[in-house]
Structure 1
Amino acid sequence: MLAEAATLYPEHSGLVTNLGIAHELLGRFDEAVICLERASALVPHNQDIKLALAHALLCRGDIAQARAITQAALKHEPANARAFLQLGAIDLALREYPSAEAALLRALELIPDDPDTLRNMSVLLLEQSRFDEALSFAERAHLRAPLDTAGLLHLAYCRAATGLWLQAEAACKKLLAYAPTLLGAREILARVTIANGEVDRGITELTQFVRTHKSDLSAALVLARTLQFVGRFNDALTLASHVAHACPDDETASRLKTTLELTLGRFPTPEPVALALVTLVYVPPTTCMLEFVALVLLVRRLASQQVVRVIAEPHYQAVLTSLAEQVISEEPKSGLSTTSLQSLLRVLAIDAHNIADGIPYLRPDPGLSAKWRDALAGLARPLSASCGTVVFSV
């Protein structure tokens, strides 16, 4: 209906805007951007349309452009709560946590009870391992929008993360009563069951769900992650390999497959790439810090042989400056030929003998080292610190 109406009235900004939003809801991001760019050109001073355009660009992966448009909208309307919410979400996606928190808190000052802003704030706090605060914001968001499925699912996750397993289980069962195929609830329920010591039951119930939904490859990927969680790496690898083969463009499946292969000591065979051509390395913003710290060893090996430039977000660059081998920071520019950090796994030969070569390969700041050494001096050894599912002992 919108397509026909917009065809008849191509100068009607409202119709073109709604058509663009409809395209976005259907996953047609290129068409959405085209429509919203046209609508914005028809009414240049309408900031709501500009924010809709920025959201479509964000969905398409054009994060820098989406952020620029959102910031421009804020300059015209400094009290636009939606713009602050969107800016916070963009910075959250970029893992720029301080600026994301500042933007979301400003949005809450303007609209204190907005459930979307409350939930985004909760997600931000979860990313920073501030679990109790994350749960508080998730509960507030759920109270303001009790029928919102995404909000209740997020609340279930926060409850599980803080060890409130019975409450998390209750929330998941409520969700599955009216949305039986909601995969996120299935995954949380399985993990809560496992956390309660019923590993076999958690795996069995999730496996039965996957078998009855064989065409849903995302369900198989959830089962693979859960099998990885309980240490059944071979079974997890079989599933992850199946999904990666069926969906070669699925980055999540490919990365899980690679992680499991490395966990099992199955190192990739290097491709015939001339190292001299690998001079510019790109760190995707979605790379988690633990993965980055592990893979940056490969950057060090490369930098020991030649000059290497790295395009990375500021928080990654801070670690790069501490490498034993010096690398050069590079700004992102169009037209540059880059090699992703993860691709170095197939460029440099890796085996059981050199995977930990040159440890330690990072140089901590002497002042910070002394500060932590003095602060921890009176504690019994060994000291353990957890990061995700990895535990470091000193």
Structure 2
Amino acid sequence: MTSIQSFPPITLRDRIASAHELIVGRRFDEAEALLDEVLQADPGHAEALNALGGVALARKDGARAGEILSAAATAFPDDAAIVNNLGLAHQMLGRLDEAIVCFERATALTPQADGPLHSLATARFMMNNLPGARMAAEQILARSPDAPEAVSLLGMVALAEGNKEQAELHLSRALALNPNDAAALRTLSICCYDRLRFDEALHLAERARLAAPLDMDIVEHLARCEAALGLYPQAEASCRKLLAFAPNHLGVRELLARVLVMTGRPDAGIAELTKLVKASPKSVEPLLGLAATLRFAGRLTQALPFVQHALKLDPDNASALDVRAELSLAIGRFLPRLESGGVQPEQVNVPPGMRAADFILFSRFLARLSEGGAPVRLGADERFWPLAAHLRVPIEIPPPDSEAPAVALPALMRRFDLDATTVAQSVPYLQPNPTLEQRWQQALSEYPRPWIGVVWENHASGLGMDQVRAAMPGRGTVISLMTGQARHDLAAWPEAIDAGRHMDGFDEMIGAIANLDAVIGPDVSALHLAGALGRPGFVVVSAGYPWYWAAQDGHSLWYPSIEVMPQEQPGQWSQVVADLHQRLSQRFADLRN
């Protein structure tokens, strides 16, 4: 007779180990059953209590987790694992201050452990304490250089700070260490999306969904990438799947509305947000979402009353105040000056991540700070220095560690009384380098006039090269100002002069634009440069155009030499391109003009 192998008795520790394996396999009911057996035998078993709280966390039941872990932490205040998990419960419930206290204690209890320190870094990031988050992540990497979660977190911090290049470096390294990190894949996709590299963004978003198919944030971002590439049926399907089980998700509902607007169904898109407003009449966020949708559809004046109503519900709501200001500017209303005590700032700082176009727009106000031609101290990343050198006001670059009282560059707009006349009088406020201006004049002189500078966009909803080409008047010389990879598009437009190959910075572009008879294109830096130089141009913008392209009698309020041509319907360029062709043909019919 074969003897049966003898097994040791099952211990409480065996039950807890099995419960952990079941939790990893998402077999939560079975894990709880085993843990209940342990706690019946030993009601104060710290590891079992912590594991039971872990089950609640895995179920996303923050309230239950908090209840279990609060009692456990009270009994075992020096158990780092329990204290850390209690912090996660607080974080899940939105109590970030309490979460950080728990993570700090867990870190102090186990200073060599990476887990609590990573939890602390994440909570600081969620609290927008970016320096604190970076410091904690760097502490982890100092002892564990290949910790992918810490590298990924540095990428998220860099992205939040507007340093997209640094963010990409960190996130790419994190994915080299852990290719299936869904959070890193999504964040790197956001980087690519923000830099208009939509094909890459979509590929990364699809990989993120494979890693975490039920993560709503990932699926929402995937839908945004699909919409950016003009894959509207796929984007609509992704949104509707999410809304089937999360019907009140504002971000997804607003994205669906934009897809409907872009596919010629603006009323249906607006109705999507109207549903949420009716369902939550006392909530500010749906009202702002509806206003944003109306604005996107080009119905700016209809959007403003909903923002005003939101401010009646919450007069100090920062988002509503910002939207009201932006809408007011977009319909041509100048904002009142904010009281600043009449004290001139010692220094003006350029916010991290500011676009070059925004720097060009706001730098007009620097001249107002120059008393008697005195230099203006400008704290800016070195990429802005070439642009600052072309301002008609002397600029002084302070040392990076300057602690002089400063104001952010965009805030200068609210320090002065503005109207259409005073704004127009500030232009031109950029000037070309005389040597480069003359060099470009000589280079272009061999070509027939008019000299028409062109730029375009390379994404599905933007003004593309084919549309710009169709708008040309059929005479003169087309001068492409496109730089980088976009220059390759010119293979399909051989008669255009590739001036962009000589432009390794803004110095050359400014010198070229100063000679042109017109600059044509969408809302990109070249149009801002033309406006700031006082050169003629036509900007073609979406129906929900940015506020700085508000117009009076067809001309930009902020750049009076630029004529503004908005779409009549989002996503439809044919009519505005035909109108631009007619305007250009009329403008240059008499070459003597």
1:85 aligns with 2:183: no
Match of 1:148 among 215, 237, 240: 215
For 2:315 and 2:409, how far apart are their aligned partners in 1? 19
Root-mean-square deviation (CA, aligned residues, Å) is: 3.3
Deviation at 1:39, TM superposition (A): 1.8
TM-score by length of 2: 0.60
1:200 is the counterpart of 2:337: no
Q: 1:378 aligns with which of 497, 505, 517?
A: 497
Decide which moves more: 156-165 or 5-14: 5-14
Per the TM alignment, residue 285 of structure 1 is displaced from its structure 2 partner at its CA by: 4.5
Greater mean alpha carbon deviation, residues 321-330 or residues 344-353: 321-330
* Post-superposition offset of 1:308: 4.7
Distance between the aligned counterparts of 1:11 and 1:343, measured in 2? Answer: 48
1:49-60 aligned within 5 A:
49-60=116-127
Alignment of 1:42-81 (within 5 A): 42-81=109-148
Aligned to 2:29: none
Deviation at 1:189, TM superposition (A): 1.1
Q: Relative to structure 2, which stretch is displaced further, 222-231 or 317-326?
A: 317-326
Deviation at residue 218 of structure 1 after TM alignment: 1.1
Residue 169 of structure 2 corresponds to 102
Alpha-carbon separation, structure 2, partners of 1:31 and 1:321: 49
Alignment match of 2:328 (pick from 254, 261, 270): 261
> After the TM superposition, which residues 102-121 of structure 1 pair with which residues of structure 2 at under 5 Å, given as runs?
102-121=169-188
How far apart are the structure 2 equivalents of 1:7 and 1:279?
52
TM-superposed deviation, 1:209: 2.8
Say if 1:320 and 1:327, in contact at 8 Å, map to a contact too: no
Counterpart selection for 1:354 from 401, 404, 422 = 422
- Matched residue of 1:383: which SS? strand
Alignment deviations for residues 14-65 of structure 1 (CA, whole Å, 9 cap, x no partner): 2222222222233333322222222212221122222221221122222122
SS of equivalent to 1:71: helix
- Give, in whole Å, the separation in 2 of the partners of 1:362 and 1:33: 48
Instruction: Measure, in 1, the Cα distance between the counterparts of 2:351 and 2:87.
Output: 28
Q: Deviations over 1:350-393 (max 9, x none)?
A: 11112244334346788799699876462797531444955888
Question: How many equivalent pairs are there?
Answer: 393
TM superposition score normalised by structure 1: 0.87
Q: Which moved more, 1:307-316 or 1:252-261?
A: 307-316
Answering whether residue 70 of structure 2 is matched by residue 3 of structure 1, we say yes
Determine the structure 2 residue equivalent to 1:217.
284
Give yes or no for contact 2:186–2:204 (8 Å, CA) kept in 1.
yes
Q: Counterpart in 2 of 1:189?
A: 256
- In 2, distance between residues paired with 1:322 and 1:15? 59
Question: Against the structure 1 CA distance between its residues 299 and 256, is the aligned structure 2 distance closer, same or farther, given a 3 Å change threshold?
Answer: farther
Higher relative contact order (CA 8 A, sep 6+): 2
Q: 1:255 to 1:143 in 2, by over 3 A?
A: same
Assess if the C-alpha contact under 8 Å between 1:58 and 1:90 holds in 2.
yes
Could you tell me how far 1:206 is from its partner in structure 2?
A: 2.2
Cα displacement (A) at 1:183: 1.2
Q: Is the 8 A contact 2:163 2:352 kept in 1?
A: no
**Separation in structure 1 between the aligned mates of residue 324 and residue 269 of structure 2, nearest angstrom:** 22
Report if aligned partners of 1:142, 1:152 keep a CA contact under 8 Å in 2: yes
Structure 2 portions without partners, runs of 5+? 1-66, 445-452, 454-478, 482-495, 499-516, 525-541, 550-561, 564-583, 585-593
1:21 paired with 2:88, answer yes
The offset of 1:163, in angstroms, is: 0.3
Q: Is residue 81–residue 111 contact of structure 1 (8 Å, CA) maintained in 2?
A: yes
Question: Aligned in 2, Cα 1:383/1:286: closer, same or farther, shift over 3 Å?
Answer: closer
Map 1:203-352 to 2 at 5 A: 203-285=270-352, 290-303=357-370, 308-310=376-378, 320=388, 323-325=391-393, 326-329=395-398, 331=400, 338-352=406-420
Gap change, CA 1:312 and 1:4, over 3 Å in 2: farther
Question: Letter of the aligned partner of 1:205 in structure 2?
Answer: E
> What is the rounded CA distance, in whole Å, between the counterparts of 1:13 and 1:116 in structure 2?
26
Contact 1:282 1:340 in 2 (8 A): yes
Distance 1:331 1:215, change over 3 A: farther
Q: 1:322 to 1:53 in 2, by over 3 A?
A: farther
Residue pair 1:311, 1:332 contacting (<8 A) in 2 also: no
Distance 1:241 1:308, change over 3 A: farther
> CA 1:142/1:367 → structure 2, altered by over 3 Å: closer, same or farther?
farther
Does the Cα contact within 8 Å between 2:282 and 2:313 map onto a contact in 1?
A: no
Residue identity in the other structure for 1:31: E
Contact conserved, 1:280 with 1:311, CA < 8 A, in 2? yes
Instruction: Look up the match of 1:41.
Output: 108
Within the candidate set 181, 191, 199, 1:124 is matched to 191
Q: Which moved more, 1:317-326 or 1:71-80?
A: 317-326
The amino acid across from 1:234 in the alignment is T
In the alignment, the residues of structure 1 paired with residue 375 and residue 71 of structure 2 have an alpha-carbon distance, to the nearest angstrom, of 57
- Kindly provide the CA deviation profile for residues 147-179 of structure 1, in whole angstroms up to 9, marking residues without a partner as x: 221111111111001100011011111111111
- The alpha-carbon deviation at position 200 of structure 1 amounts to 2.1
Question: Quick one: distance in 2 between partners of 1:87 and 1:204?
Answer: 40
Paired with 1:31 and 1:227, the residues of 2 have a C-alpha distance of: 39
Offset, 1:240 = 2.2
SS of equivalent residue, structure 2 residue 421: coil
